[in-house]
Amino acid sequence: MVQIAVMGYGVVGSGVVEVLTTHTDHIAKRAKEEIGIKYILDLREFPDSPFADKFTKSFDDIINDPEVRVVVEVMGGLHPAFEYSMRCMEAGKSVVTSNKELVATKGAELLKVAQEKNVNFLFEASVGGGIPIIRPISQCLAANDVIEIAGILNGTTNFILTKMIHDSMDFQDALALAQKLGYAERNPAADVEGADACRKICILASLAFGRHVYPEQVHTEGITNISLADVEYAEQWGGVVKLIGRVKQMESGKLQIIVCPMFIPRESQLANVDDVFNGIMVRGDSTGDVVFYGKGAGKLPTASAVVADVIDCVKHFKARKYLFWGEGSPDYVEDYLDDKVSMYVRAHTDNEALALGNANHLLGKINHLTRKNAPAGEIAFVTETMPERAIVEKLKKLSELGVTIENTIRIGEL
Amino acid sequence: MVQIAVMGYGVVGSGVVEVLTTHTDHIAKRAKEEIGIKYILDLREFPDSPFADKFTKSFDDIINDPEVRVVVEVMGGLHPAFEYSMRCMEAGKSVVTSNKELVATKGAELLKVAQEKNVNFLFEASVGGGIPIIRPISQCLAANDVIEIAGILNGTTNFILTKMIHDSMDFQDALALAQKLGYAERNPAADVEGADACRKICILASLAFGRHVYPEQVHTEGITNISLADVEYAEQWGGVVKLIGRVKQMESGKLQIIVCPMFIPRESQLANVDDVFNGIMVRGDSTGDVVFYGKGAGKLPTASAVVADVIDCVKHFKARKYLFWGEGSPDYVEDYLDDKVSMYVRAHTDNEALALGNANHLLGKINHLTRKNAPAGEIAFVTETMPERAIVEKLKKLSELGVTIENTIRIGEL
């Protein structure tokens, strides 16, 4: 019997306890040992819980108990999750987490201590909920060079965009529906402004390319500026608007990495990833494109990924799982303005013909888009591919010529 | 330095050698050891190969060399692949294979010897080529009960069906094109008659549900009877025709397993898996649906999956990877005629109204399908859901009433 502790009894924590207690035999068979929950750490009271005798408010109970060999960190937030995780590993306990903020911000430090102490630090559930992605990248694709990763990494924003695309709901109504259905928090900022997707692409990038990418290094845009007009233009262009996290390694070794809405072609395997689902494309030099698809969040999917990591810890007390990346550096990420991109532009003008002529003159051969019932003076087009810095400059010139730029969205040839 | 041997220098074998020699440093880093190729076994001569000094025609060189700790079996076919693999494991060497016939037919026996000898028998490349699927099922989904697996498991037939669906090519022309492009063999039987997909679903079913399912236990139909008429009716029904391998566990513990063309709804994540791509859906009780997508075959994708297994062997000489299933039994698989199904039927009659009335009378409330330019006397419909045996009997009665049944295709609500 291996004893574990669960820190945090929120949605994921209670799910972990549920999965461990409802699949006991099945899990014991896979882990080749029974797994018992010795402590559940939470500051709240759960007097009616069937696990009431396991609750503690004191982290010391866990850290001082040599019987506890694996600690599940599902508290969320950076503090005290970081300090607790560090102390557990320093005390020789393996740590499993679903906390993407923790891994995206402190991953390199935590992995270093795991290596030094010869324990495991596993975090399959931090990206893609129940979709296996950390393991496939680190193991199955071990014989590949990963060239690029791109994905729909946030279910809440994908639900909102799906409602905008398929039901012509506007952003505010779709957000309200997502909140009503429990897909979005009352304060939805972390989702709709892209921070959640940013953390996930940081984790994937760090793992795939071997050095830590920090969230503040990633240019991040959310979906709050997306209008139904943009959705209609995307359709006329031949695709859909999706919030994409994307990373590529350049020949110099630096990374191009960004989180932003993109127009992606209808034929892309990511275009049909709808509702709260996630889809992650990993491009390897040998495998070509491999796509992983499933529910990226939710109590049981996430909990089952955590438990799978716990099983892996129990099976690998002797042979530590090799999951590692080193520290990053400020110059590891290319300035996104230097990336080459083609851009969709929606603007307002008093003279459409003149504005389009100027756009064509400034931005190369533009692809003019139209939509039914567009208000007078609205124009939209897609530029040629060029460094984003050049597009920004040229759009500035265009606005000096009396054209009001209302939105820009990058084209993602995925 | 760990020494390995590669048995078979065909498409996959030469790919394995290529991946190992072009990614040497990367692989050594992942495996924490350098991996050297000591022997390549092939009866043919490759005097101009840069690896000419490694070739041998004698299996004895490999089996008698204690330095060789991992043997890659990529010869294909059952014999001598089975005997060689057995002898390698009995001699304490781990075996990695991409040979689906070997695993589907002899998996339980081989896994038993692997367990007894405490060596690895790994076969990620046997299903889905470069798509990670064996590992995710066995590890990431360890904390789930798998409920169902369904997939497009054969790229050749999927290419042919895609050409029929999108370009209205008929079967023979699409097959000829597949052969021209190198996607289909000159003798395409194993692909188009479903045997290849059958082997793969057997492997997935054995792994997910823990007991061996043998190919001869699986009712298997290929795509040779699919006509453009069926493709058009599928579209009117609201979906596409795909060759699906599918397995579900029943409450009794028995399996429902089948390989056959199915109508699947347009909204299904498998409906957009086109060309030579594979897509595999794994339904878990906690994770919900997870879909894996990518190129299911090809030299480098398959080779990179083989090499990933080699790396895993090298990392786990001490802690053997737990991949196991037991022997099956003749009564482990339910008779497919007892499975409940809804069926598309295309038929010919001299009296359409009478035939449809009879069909409605016999088969419950049918869903009548039509298509443009249907020849006179052609009818098509979808039955209600009932045991397949009942459908077969009722269609027999219908044909006794003067209706010629031309094709039937199961409805797959995936």
pLDDT of A315 reads: 86
Residues B322 and B386 in one domain: no
pLDDT of B364 reads: 85
CA diameter of chain A: 76
pLDDT of A267 reads: 85
Nearest chain B CA: its distance from A392 CA (Å): 36
For B334-372, how does the pLDDT look when each residue is reduced to its tens digit (9 = 90+)? 999 999 999 999 999 999 999 999 999 999 899 999 999
CB < 8 Å to A292, chain B: 290-293
Residue A216 maps to a domain: yes
Residue A246 has pLDDT above 70, yes or no: yes
Strand pairing report for B277-284 and B239-249: unpaired
Q: Which of B140, B291, B318 to mutate to test the interface with A (most CBs of A within 10 A)?
A: B140
CB < 8 Å to A301, chain B: 286-288
Comparing C-alpha atoms, which of A240, A165, A152, A146 is closest to residue A191?
A: A152
* Pure H helices in B34-127: 59-63, 81-90, 100-117
Please, how many CA atoms are within 13 Å of residue B362, restricted to the half-sphere of its CB?
21
CB < 8 Å to A311, chain B: 139, 142-143
Q: What is the CATH number of the domain that holds B188?
A: 3.30.360.10
For A273-312, how does the pLDDT look when each residue is reduced to its tens digit (9 = 90+)? 999 999 999 999 988 899 999 988 889 999 999 999 999 9
User: Residues 6 or more apart from A22 whose CB is under 8 A from it?
Assistant: none
Worst-scoring range by mean pLDDT, A15-19, B74-78, B269-273, B381-385?
B269-273
One DSSP character per residue, A288-342 reads EEEEEEEE---HHHHHHHHHHHHHHHHHTSSS------B---GGGB--GGGSEE-
From chain B residues 162-181, the ones with a CB under 8 A of any chain A CB are none
pLDDT of B30 reads: 86
Residue A284 structure tokens: 């390897």
Total domains present in chain A: 3
* Among chain A residues, CA nearest to B129: A287
Residues B173 and B104 in one domain: no
Q: Are B409 and B261 in contact (CB under 8 A)?
A: yes
Residue A170 maps to a domain: yes
For B186-201, how does the pLDDT look when each residue is reduced to its tens digit (9 = 90+)? 999 999 999 999 999 9
Q: Average pLDDT in the A48-56 region?
A: 95
Residue A361 has pLDDT above 80, yes or no: yes
Worst-scoring range by mean pLDDT, A133-137, A348-352, B394-398?
A133-137
From chain A residues 117-146, the ones with a CB under 8 A of any chain B CB are 124, 129-132, 135-136, 139-145
Using the Cβ of A315 and the Cβ atoms of chain B, whether some distance falls under 8 Å is answered with yes
Percent share of chain B, pLDDT over 70:
99
Residues B102 and B169 in one domain: no
Residue A332 maps to a domain: no
Q: Are A407 and A227 in contact (CB under 8 A)?
A: yes
pLDDT of B148 reads: 96
Nearest chain A CA: its distance from B199 CA (Å): 21
Asked if B131 and A290 come within 8 Å (Cβ–Cβ), the reply is yes
Catalytic residues of B: 200
Q: Average pLDDT in the A254-265 region?
A: 97
For A128-155, how does the pLDDT look when each residue is reduced to its tens digit (9 = 90+)? 988 999 988 887 677 888 999 999 999 9
CB < 8 Å to A118, chain B: none
For B285-343, how does the pLDDT look when each residue is reduced to its tens digit (9 = 90+)? 988 899 999 988 889 999 999 999 999 999 877 766 668 899 999 999 999 999 999 99
Nearest chain B CA: its distance from A389 CA (Å): 35
For A76-110, how does the pLDDT look when each residue is reduced to its tens digit (9 = 90+)? 999 999 999 999 999 999 999 999 999 999 999 99
Residues B316 and B388 in one domain: no
Residue A36 has pLDDT above 70, yes or no: yes
Q: What is the CATH number of the domain that holds B388?
A: 3.30.70.3190
Nearest chain B CA: its distance from A349 CA (Å): 40
CB < 8 Å to B301, chain A: 286-288
Q: Are B125 and B305 in contact (CB under 8 A)?
A: yes
pLDDT of A130 reads: 86
Q: What is the CATH number of the domain that holds A119?
A: 3.40.50.720
CB < 8 Å to A136, chain B: 132, 135-136
CA diameter of chain B: 76
Cα torsion angle, B135, B140, B143, B147, sign: negative
Phi and psi torsions of A245, nearest 5° = -105, 135
Q: Average pLDDT in the A345-364 region?
A: 94
pLDDT of B115 reads: 94
pLDDT of A319 reads: 66
Residue B145 structure tokens: 């009960």
Residue B104 has pLDDT above 80, yes or no: yes
Residue B332 maps to a domain: no
Angle of helix B352-363 relative to helix B388-400, nearest 10 degrees, comes to 150
Residues A217 and A348 in one domain: no
How confident is residue A414, by pLDDT bands cut at 50, 70 and 90? confident
- A220 vs A63, A197, A203, B275, B381, CA distance in Å? 38, 9, 15, 34, 51
Residue A78 structure tokens: 């950076």
In B134-199, DSSP assigns E strands to 146-152
Residue B331 maps to a domain: no
How confident is residue A394, by pLDDT bands cut at 50, 70 and 90? very high
Nearest chain A CA: its distance from B23 CA (Å): 7
Residues B191 and B80 in one domain: no
Residues B305 and B399 in one domain: no
* Among chain A residues, CA nearest to B300: A286
Residue A205 maps to a domain: yes
Q: Among A243, A270, A294, where does a domain finish?
A: A294
Residues B380 and B320 in one domain: no
Phi and psi torsions of A252, nearest 5° = -70, -10
In terms of residue numbers, what domain contains A288? 134-294
| Dist. CA A230–CA B64, nearest whole Å | 68
Residues A307 and A201 in one domain: no
Residue A60 maps to a domain: yes
Asked if B131 and A289 come within 8 Å (Cβ–Cβ), the reply is no
Q: Which of A122, A287, A312 to mutate to test the interface with B (most CBs of B within 10 A)?
A: A287
| Dist. CA B252–CA B48, nearest whole Å | 58
Residues A163 and A265 in one domain: yes
Q: Average pLDDT in the B273-295 region?
A: 93
Using the Cβ of A115 and the Cβ atoms of chain B, whether some distance falls under 8 Å is answered with no
Residue B126 has pLDDT above 70, yes or no: yes
Using the Cβ of B209 and the Cβ atoms of chain A, whether some distance falls under 8 Å is answered with no
How confident is residue B139, by pLDDT bands cut at 50, 70 and 90? confident
Asked if B136 and A141 come within 8 Å (Cβ–Cβ), the reply is no
| Dist. CA A130–CA A295, nearest whole Å | 7
- A35 vs A31, A125, B139, B208, B355, CA distance in Å? 8, 19, 16, 21, 62
| Dist. CA A354–CA A359, nearest whole Å | 9
pLDDT of B52 reads: 94
CB < 8 Å to B11, chain A: none
| Catalytic residue of the set A38, A200, A242, A321 | A200
For A305-334, how does the pLDDT look when each residue is reduced to its tens digit (9 = 90+)? 999 999 999 987 876 666 889 999 999 999
Using the Cβ of A23 and the Cβ atoms of chain B, whether some distance falls under 8 Å is answered with yes
Residue A250 has pLDDT above 90, yes or no: yes
Residue A110 maps to a domain: yes
* Among chain A residues, CA nearest to B144: A304
Q: Average pLDDT in the A13-28 region?
A: 94
Using the Cβ of A355 and the Cβ atoms of chain B, whether some distance falls under 8 Å is answered with no
Residues B234 and B307 in one domain: no
Residues B114 and B246 in one domain: no
Asked if B132 and A142 come within 8 Å (Cβ–Cβ), the reply is no
